[in-house]
Structure 1
């Protein structure tokens, strides 16, 4: 029958040799992460005299809340040195915060459950419910622990070489950029560095995450990087977001970062920085799908399907342009899907579309979008030349009050063991010791 023990009970318990003599006291339990499988206990850290030594799991015959029993009284007294890939449960997990992937929040691990399966011990569950003060003072368990499957969490190990052994994404790959940004804003310095280390494995995702960060968090996290590293992130961001991020950097760092940008992105950023950040020109996306009015509907749809470099929010319409990029009309993609493929764009497009100038206040753009039920508004200069397009998400980012951004987000649906979104739990709630 499988057995359960709890780390909080094991710590500082005597370690007894095969002859019954006390060898030392337990300091920590070492596990090895195994991807989607439960972490395997590979050894113990035991204090013997004045030093901490390593005991391999094969030498342990029993883990019990009262004592840990060894197969032999012989112990290698060489001082313990942590190896790559080793996770220390007391030092790295117990009392530390982990990422609750299902609820997208940082929670603290107050206890750790170990389960014996055949002749091995594995880490199966975490208790993430804060113990009441009375429970701590009395040393009892007066409140029911919140035991949840280890597979619901992503640990923040802190030890760089051990964190690398976990793999490039692990469970964080399930989260959206906005979710990762929320975690970064709640994380402390050490936690945020580890989350960013993981995200850095995918440069496109990293750029998306920085786009979602609040300006103060974005500036703080970018400010800890070199000019070249900042430029690498900004090069993959939308040009309007990159311009905002650059403007928020200290004056002394803007030009070096700008010089390190690829020429194409640098040109876009410089263009946007020439406008008021709260105007249509400062918020617009420069890349749009623009075609001649004589193009057919079928050609426009093929061009839209191939326009993978454009942000999806800006790809709601095809813009008809004439000489010197003068705006002649707008054809929403939905209408093109319903039109005759052989028809010309100028036959199906709105030839007098709603538009805004680059100096138009964002609040006025919001009113235009509301009055005409628009997702995008083209931005044109005094000569009616198409400069870019402002999207509804850019407008919302600009007009939502700051105190609304800071309020508590809506709660996530309650987690339930066995939900298909996560691997099923080995059991619903293990009994308390």
Structure 2
């Protein structure tokens, strides 16, 4: 691609009419976008030449098959992307390699008579070719070319037109769906502000929220500050409450209130309650997501309630059994529920010893002691009337104890 820029464009008679400025592709979700036309500098104008008028496209020049040329100033139309302006030197995502790259060059190939974008070259070698003699641009390095089918193009609002971004948002690479949250988090941490916001719009909100939970605190705080208010608020709503409150603690107070004000009132109130607990206490560590039931409920009813919370399954390892006043009677593990007959009442599953509990103001050391002494996967946080207000999971403790190591996940059996 870089070897084509600024080459001479000639008419069928071989007469020079201008120089090549850019190559236009029309993207509609195919793995190898087809070239739809060229932008040619003719005098002081940038004219559009449809690909049907191009006889040959090579590093030594472009030859047209028609002498007719529309000399109106070129304007980007809906669905069109300028490769040199919108893609070259921009951040891209190599989905196969799960890494952020910059396309130092792009590769075109003619397949069945149609030109397609087929690859992107990365590395310093091409950069050296670009600043060296022009003849070096005609020497490609195929071993450095990545398959375009495995690439997701991104861009920054300060360098490109709105049309190009809209095209990418409509047709994201389907391979993005296969990325794990931790892989997506790594990409988000490496991307700049504009591309990062764009990538978040390309993935499902739930998956984006899972990725945010895997990000390092400093990167997540920067993302929440830089992202549009509405986008950041929606992502926080999708996150687990304890993860969202932890993320908001690192955000300046004014920014925090801005984000909370853009959230659904019920979810904002839940996060404000968690933020009201002092850092390093049980209340600050807990998630407020609980499944509770009275002792007269059947196992079938409770399992149905658990299914309704399937998106939060990783945070639900037990069900809180309550008395008539809402006080905690027992914390029945999900495994015990699954092994019981559907018609069994929860009262029949209540066992000794008493459930493991701590107060919201309990320090981290007390939570660790209670959890390790009982060998449980979680501890229930209760108020002064012994009513459950939250739960602290083993992996939350690991995160709190070793924050610089990133997120850990203790796997549990859940329905």
Output the TM-score relative to the length of structure 1. 0.81
Structure 2 counterpart of 1:422: none
**Residues 65 and 143 of structure 1: CA distance in aligned 2, closer, same or farther (over 3 Å):** closer
**Is contact 1:43-1:56 (8 Å) kept?**
yes
Tell me the equivalent position of 2:18. Answer: 24
Instruction: Tell me if 1:193 matches 2:194.
Output: no
- The equivalent of 1:153 in structure 2 is 151
Correspondences of 1:116-135 after superposition (within 5 Å): 116-131=110-125
What's the CA shift string for 1:213-235, capped at 9, x where partnerless? 43333333333467666544434
In the TM superposition, what whole-angstrom CA distance separates every residue of 1:224-282 from its partner, at most 9, and x where no partner exists? 46766654443443333333344333333444544554332233223212212322211
**1:376 counterpart residue number:** 378
Distance 1:160 1:16, change over 3 A: same
Local SS of the residue matching 1:83: coil
Please give the alpha-carbon distance, in whole angstroms, between the structure 2 residues aligned to 1:156 and 1:376: 41
In the alignment, does 2:50 pair up with 1:56? yes
The aligned residue for residue 421 of structure 1 is none
| Runs of 5+ unmatched residues, structure 1 | 1-6, 407-433
Matches within 5 A, 1:243-282: 243-255=245-257, 257-282=259-284
Q: Corresponding residue for 1:343?
A: 344
Distance 1:40 1:225, change over 3 A: closer
User: 2:225 maps to what in 1?
Assistant: 223
Q: 1:81 to 1:363 in 2, by over 3 A?
A: farther
From the superposition, tell whether residues 228 and 344 of structure 1 become closer, same or farther in structure 2 (CA, over 3 Å).
Answer: same
Q: Which moved more, 1:290-299 or 1:312-321?
A: 290-299
The answer as to 2:295 corresponding to 1:293 is yes
CA distance in 1, matches of 2:229, 2:104: 40
- The one of 62, 84, 89 equivalent to 1:68 is 62
The more displaced of 130-139 and 7-16 is 130-139
Cα 1:364–1:68 shift into 2, 3 Å? farther
Task: Supply the distance in 1 between the matched residues of 2:150 and 2:258 (Cα, whole angstroms).
Answer: 42
Select which of 290, 293, 304 maps to 2:306: 304
Deviation at 1:323, TM superposition (A): 3.5
Q: Give the paired residue count.
A: 396
Q: Secondary structure, in 3 states, of the residue corresponding to 2:325? A: helix
* Runs of at least 5 residues in structure 2 that lack an aligned partner in the other structure: 408-415
Partner of 1:33: 27
Equivalent-residue separation in structure 2 for 1:111 and 1:132 (angstroms) = 7
TM-score, normalising length: structure 2: 0.84
The CA deviation at 1:343 is 3.3
